[in-house]
Every structure is written in structure tokens, then in C-alpha cells.
């Protein structure tokens, strides 16, 4: 179970981790994209800080929706509408709820992925954030259905996402600016998949530390 206050800590942790990896994500993106992923993500998450603070007493849905709107209006690159949609969809799952159950967490990741698919018109194997998120979802769902505690289940999701990031090195990009590179994008890991992994890892780290 993730209480609202723990959700706020997770958002803080994600903001910190994205900030710490700003240069790393930008370097990855410079190799195969337009080189702004780290800068954009960092700008987006820094911009939501005050907005989230203003709704910290509200329900989980409102908090996630606030994150979504903040990212949408400040990120600037493709990750803005994509992560914005993901957080928006996530917020709808837990509208008016003060706590997120393990089942909710599975549903959140599912809805977030469906939102990204609809927005980006991408599929697994296109070398995008989906290549980290879909394996993570599959692992999370399987573990939760087997009755594992959320922290363990999330640990498996993070491992699966890491595997997904490694997989993006082996495939050519079919979406975004990297698509112009075609097969030359093979050998490089996808920045979007990497930021998705970092976010899941941040959530897991908060769970292991606080729960």
C-alpha cells in the first residue's frame, strides 16, 4: 500500500534522480536524438515542485494529475506529452483515493503504457520508453497476482525494465528523431527507456527505504 505521503516522497525522489542523471540522459540523447532529453526532463520535474506542494493535502489522483499538467507545459520535447499522458492516465486510476494498493499500481502502469501507446503511436520494439515499461508491467502484474508484497513486485519490475533498457541497444529506432538514423541507432541505448527505468527505480528505492 502506498499512502499519499509516500507518493509525494516518490515524486520528490524521481525529481532528484532525474536531476542527478540530467547529463547522462542528455548524453544518451545526443548520440541518437536531439540531445535534449535530460535537460527537458529536469526542467519538467523541477517545475512541478511548487505545483505539487500546493496540492500535497489532496488525493493521489489530484497529485498525479498535477504532475502531468506540469510536465505537459514545461518539458517541451516528445517526453512532455508522453509522460504527461502517462501521469494523467495514472491519476485517473486513483482519483479521490488517499492510498494506492498493489492492484492499483498494476492498473496505473497499464493505463500509463496505454496512454503512451495512444499518444506516441509506438509499439514494443520501436526503441522507446515502452521497451522498459512493458516488461516492467508484465513483471509487476505477475508478481502481484502471485501475492508478492508490492516492494518485491516492484523490485522485479525494475529488473525487467533494466533488461528492457539493455534490449534497446540491440534494435533500431522507429520513432522520434532517432528514426532518422535508422540502423545507426543500433548499439545505443534509448534515452526514453532509460528515464522510464530511472523513474521505476526511484519508486522502488523509496519503497525499500520507507515501507
Partner 1 sequence: MVGLVIVSHSYEIAKGVKELSIQMVQSDTKIIDAGGMKDGGIGTDPNKIRDAIVEADSGDGVVILVDLGSAIMSSEMAIEFLDPEQQGRVVIADAPVVEGAVAAAVQASVGGTLEQVKATAEECRNTSKL
191 contributes a contact to partner 1 by CB under 8 A: no
- DSSP letter string, the chain: -EEHHHHHHHHHHHHHHHHHTHHHHHHHHHHHS-S-HHHHHHHHHHHHHHHHHTTTTS-HHHHHHHHHHHHHHH--STHHHHHHHHHHHHHHHTTT-SEE-HHHHHHHHHHHHHHHHHHHT--TTSSSTHHHHHHHHHHHHHHHHTT--HHHHHHHHHHHHHHHHHHHTTS---SSGGGGGGGGGTTS--HHHHHHHHHHHHHHHHHHHH-
67 contributes a contact to partner 1 by CB under 8 A: no
Shortest spacing between CB 163 and partner 1, in angstroms? 27
User: Given candidates 38, 70, 91, 176, which one binds partner 1 under the rule CB under 8 A?
Assistant: 176
Stretch that binds partner 1, among 7-15, 50-58, 75-83, 153-161 (CB under 8 A): 75-83
Using the minimum distance from each CB to partner 1, give the nearer residue, 34 or 159. 34
Considering only residues 2-41, where is the footprint of partner 1 by CB under 8 A? 36, 40
110 contributes a contact to partner 1 by CB under 8 A: no
Considering only residues 39-58, where is the footprint of partner 1 by CB under 8 A? 40
Shortest spacing between CB 34 and partner 1, in angstroms? 8
Using the minimum distance from each CB to partner 1, give the nearer residue, 75 or 102. 75
80 contributes a contact to partner 1 by CB under 8 A: yes
Shortest spacing between CB 28 and partner 1, in angstroms? 17
Nearest Cα residue to 12 out of 60, 45, 40, 43: 45
User: Given candidates 3, 81, 99, 149, which one binds partner 1 under the rule CB under 8 A?
Assistant: 81
126 contributes a contact to partner 1 by CB under 8 A: no
Contact criterion met (CB below 8 Å) for 44 and 69 = no
Binding site for partner 1 (CB under 8 A): 36, 40, 72-82, 84-85, 119-120, 176-177
Amino acid at each position: 500500500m502506498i499512502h499519499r505521503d509516500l507518493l509525494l516522497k516518490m515524486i520528490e525522489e524521481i525529481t532528484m534522480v532525474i536531476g542527478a542523471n540530467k547529463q547522462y540522459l542528455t548524453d544518451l540523447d545526443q548520440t541518437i536524438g536531439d540531445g535534449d532529453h535530460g535537460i527537458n526532463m529536469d526542467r519538467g520535474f523541477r517545475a512541478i515542485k511548487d505545483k505539487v506542494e500546493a496540492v500535497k493535502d489532496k488525493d493521489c489522483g489530484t497529485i498525479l494529475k498535477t504532475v502531468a499538467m506540469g510536465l505537459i507545459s514545461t518539458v517541451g520535447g516528445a517526453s512532455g506529452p508522453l509522460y504527461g499522458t502517462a501521469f494523467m492516465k495514472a491519476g485517473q486510476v486513483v482519483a479521490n483515493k488517499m492510498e494506492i494498493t498493489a492492484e492499483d499500481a498494476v492498473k496505473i502502469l497499464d493505463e500509463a503504457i496505454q496512454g503512451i501507446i495512444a499518444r506516441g503511436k509506438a509499439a514494443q520494439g520501436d526503441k522507446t520508453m515502452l521497451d522498459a515499461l512493458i516488461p516492467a508491467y508484465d513483471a509487476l502484474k505477475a508478481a502481484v497476482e502471485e501475492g508478492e508484497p508490492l516492494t518485491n513486485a516492484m523490485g522485479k519490475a525494475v529488473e525487467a525494465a533494466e533488461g528492457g533498457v539493455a534490449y534497446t541497444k540491440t534494435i533500431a529506432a522507429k520513432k522520434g528523431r532517432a528514426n532518422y538514423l535508422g540502423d545507426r541507432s543500433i548499439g545505443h541505448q534509448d534515452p526514453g527507456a532509460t528515464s522510464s527505468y530511472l523513474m521505476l527505480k526511484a519508486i522502488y528505492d523509496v519503497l525499500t527505504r520507507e515501507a
